[in-house]
Structure 1
Amino acid sequence: MHPMLNIAVRAARSAGTIIARGFENRSELNIEQKGINDFVTKIDKEAEVAIISKIQEAYPDHSFLGEEGGTINNNPDFTWVIDPLDGTTNFIRGIPHFAVSIALLYKGKLDQGVVFDPIRGELFAGSKGAGAQLNGYRIRATKTKDMSSCILATAFPFRNKARLDESLTQFQRIFEKVGDVRRSGSAALDLAYVAAGRYDGYWEKGLNSWDIAAGELLVKEAGGLITDYDGNNDPLYAEMKQAGSANGLVAGNPRVVQHIVKSLKS
């Protein structure tokens, strides 16, 4: 395992311990609302602090971009992009589907990525050019070409319901030609599941860099493709330039991505 990936794994497991403990004591969460349908708990904050502290033990001069305000600008060549608890609403409601997401950008390019599900004990990890693994075993995106048998994942614009009509129209175009569609509430796990071949594809708009960074690396290292809604590559980097600017994200094998993008553009 790459040394920096090893540190990311340790940091993810450290945060996972905090999250699992908090999940058993949800009456003490101290829930705050950041925006419309956007929540944060003390566990999110404690987990992010734990991640940054663990990484800083090994790399004290690295930079950080964390969802809960853990932004530290040091060495611009190394930036860790962190979502300490992706799926906070699931976590609050007792739905056991959420994850820790940690990615490392080296000179602006994805280099390492970890998505850790602390409830199932599933660790998805990948290094640039070295493939992706689930609990140490190699994973690959599906090669499905028959759209009628595909299982996809998506999300609806729960923070911006003015876009609902557009989203439902796009959903209908895609749904009519595939096997089924899931909506789980964790972008990080959706992407990890695409990398592991559990889902054939995934699309969503309105994501942030910390939602997608680690998952994007996993999909690419598992042989999948990532584009924006127009079929352009690297939606993460567009989002990094200006928060909320990314034109959506589509993931899957090339055949599935082509179908989703075509349906979205229609």
Structure 2
Amino acid sequence: MTFEQQLEQLSAILIRAGREIIMPAYALAVQTTRKADGSVVTETDLACQHFIEQELLKIDPKIGFLGEEMSQAQQLNCLQQRGGTFWCLDPLDGTTNFATSFPGFSISLALIRNGSVELACIHDPVRSETFSAFLGGGAFLNGQSIHCSEEVELSNSVGFIDFKRLQKETASRFATEKIYRSQRNVGSCALEWAWLAAGRGQFIIHGGEKLWDFAAGSLLASEAGCYVGDFFATELFPTSSLSSPILATCSRSLQAELKQQLRCEPPI
């Protein structure tokens, strides 16, 4: 099966999960509970993860599975012990948005093989937009090729910035100084990655995204022409960690300037 055919298969699974599980629940009053890390979870997160995991088992039962709604011990075991090949899923990225009727959430799925993201699919069930990519093959929106913005001036750039996960001094500087044109925080990391890839913004700054937040999006953005890494411009993969700071930009010049603004020095 070609990469294109595999992406069609994955897209169909995510579209079905969005149509049959997420959107019907979105119209109802949603009950949330808090996880150990303080984030919220709903029955829809759990139902969506179960459905997608079962569908992926039909594709190849030998491929491992790492989902957001697993225990950290299970996640680390998959990442560090299963090693080679596994699916990485966020079944409902933007749960707080979903639970408060804000239309900004998505499903994010990646296939990681030998330390690299090979396939990526992000589905936005509200807008019926499905973003996909395969390693070396480009990025797509509903099957049509996409490319990131060609902007090179930071003063003209719109960025997706998560202030609450930045150091206090850095967050204050980015919030008060005229560094860039404007800022957004969508509340769904996967949507921000997808929109960066589609040219709807020029950069992402996040103090600590989880693996399931950036796995699919990082490939999508890279294949769309973006420069993707952490605050030191170090590549995100391969990784043995469940989280990483994120600096992703549509041009090398923006990457260099924002790295300087973040005042990062390479680790000794």
TM-score using structure 2 length: 0.88
State whether residues 61 and 75 of structure 1, in contact with CA within 8 Å, keep that contact through their aligned partners in structure 2: no
Distance 1:58 1:36 in 2: 32
More moved, 85-94 vs 72-81: 72-81
1:188 corresponds to which of 187, 190, 194: 190
2:122 corresponds to which of 107, 115, 121: 115
Distance 2:83 2:234 in 1: 26
Post-superposition offset of 1:35: 3.9
SS in 2 for 1:205: strand
SS in 2 for 1:2: helix
Distance 1:60 1:31 in 2: 31
State whether residues 63 and 79 of structure 1, in contact with CA within 8 Å, keep that contact through their aligned partners in structure 2: yes
After TM superposition, list the pairs within 5 Å mapping 1:50-199 onto structure 2: 50-69=51-70, 71=74, 76-157=83-164, 165-172=168-175, 176-199=178-201
State whether residues 62 and 75 of structure 1, in contact with CA within 8 Å, keep that contact through their aligned partners in structure 2: no
State whether residues 149 and 178 of structure 1, in contact with CA within 8 Å, keep that contact through their aligned partners in structure 2: yes
Distance 1:10 1:54 in 2: 10
Q: % of aligned pairs identical? A: 28
Note the residue ranges of structure 2 that are not aligned, 5 or more in a row. none
1:251 corresponds to which of 239, 248, 251: 248
Note the residue ranges of structure 1 that are not aligned, 5 or more in a row. none
1:263 corresponds to which of 246, 261, 264: 261
Distance 1:201 1:34 in 2: 30
Aligned length: 254
Which amino acid is the alignment partner of residue 219 of structure 1? Answer: A
After TM superposition, list the pairs within 5 Å mapping 1:5-84 onto structure 2: 5-17=7-19, 18-25=21-28, 27=29, 29-35=30-36, 37-69=38-70, 71=74, 76-84=83-91
Distance 2:103 2:38 in 1: 19
State whether residues 136 and 223 of structure 2, in contact with CA within 8 Å, keep that contact through their aligned partners in structure 1: yes
Which amino acid is the alignment partner of residue 211 of structure 1? Answer: D
Post-superposition offset of 1:69: 0.9
SS in 2 for 1:61: coil
